[in-house]
Amino acid sequence: MRSSDQTLEEILALAATHFKVPREKLAPDDDFFQKLGIDSLQALELLTRLENHFHVELPDYELQGVSDFRTLADRIQARL
Specify the number of domains making up the chain.
1
Q: What is the CATH number of the domain that holds 14?
A: 1.10.1200.10
State the pTM of this model: 0.91
pLDDT, one tens digit per residue, over 24-71 is 999 999 999 999 999 989 999 999 999 999 999 998 888 888 999 999
Question: Three-state SS string across 4-69, please?
Answer: HHHHHHHHHHHHHHHCCCCHHHCCCCCEHHHHHCCCHHHHHHHHHHHHHHHCCCCCHHHHCCCCEH
Residues of the domain holding 54 = 4-79
Band of residue 21 on the pLDDT scale cut at 50, 70, 90:
very high
